[in-house]
Amino acid sequence: MAISAPPAGKMLLHWSPRSPYVRKVMIAAYEMGLSDHLHCVRTVVGGTTPHLELMRENPLGKIPTLMLTDGTIIYDSPVVCEYLDTLHAGPKLFLAGADRILALRRLALGDGMLDIALALLSEKFRPTEAQSQPHIDLWIGKLQACIPALEQEADALAASVFSIGHIAIGIALAYLDFRFAELNWRDGHPKLTAWHATFNARASVQANLPVDDR
């Protein structure tokens, strides 16, 4: 099935309400005041069935993928977010100077946590007899190591300028809530819990809540 063209003047975003990477783009776009510039097209990827139409635009077959009004294709989520950050005159999410390196490091941490969480989720969807317990233990251990590190950084997160790094970390923690509530990351981490509550209260976050519509 062919992908329909977006309305004139809008960028086409291959989108799913289940993707935390797409959610990052949507929250960033809201913060930038660019939500109305996006035409979101529901695009199902994952599993073993390739999305051939999407792969003509993004050979990786992944979302988010953004098509600009001139037909240029941009992917994946950090690149899409950074491109959108060039389109507005308000406060930037990709900061300058030394602050940029800090924001990018936080972005890498948040995205890395999502990568691990998605690998863990995929493993848990396999038949029990086919699951690799050593891999499950490794991934859970990595996620659990991230939480005390973020607890130590929570005061700095709260005090620093809101950036793409804050969005990535906030989404990663929300994804743990959404898919792995049994990890109970809030237990023993009051500063991080308080920071995440302020993140969740932002209008951009409330406007783009995670959904499992499978």
Q: Is residue 210 part of a domain?
A: no
Residues 64 and 126 in one domain: no
Tell me: pLDDT of 43 over 70: yes
The one-letter amino acid code at 14 reads H
To which residue do tokens 């969480």 refer?
117
CATH number at residue 62: 3.40.30.10
C-alpha to C-alpha distance for 210 and 198, rounded to whole angstroms: 17
Provide the domain limits for residue 149: 97-202
CATH number at residue 147: 1.20.1050.10
Segment 173-202, tens digit of pLDDT: 999 999 999 999 999 999 999 999 999 999
For residue 61, count other CB atoms closer than 10 A to its CB: 19
Residues 47 and 113 in one domain: no
Q: Is residue 1 part of a domain?
A: no
Compute CA distances 162 → 15, 113, 125, 199, whole Å: 24, 19, 35, 10
Find all residues with CB under 8 Å of 123, minimum gap 6, and list them: 131, 132, 135, 136, 139
pTM of the model: 0.94
Q: Looking at the 3D structure of the chain, how many domains does it have?
A: 2
The predicted pLDDT at position 2 comes to: 47
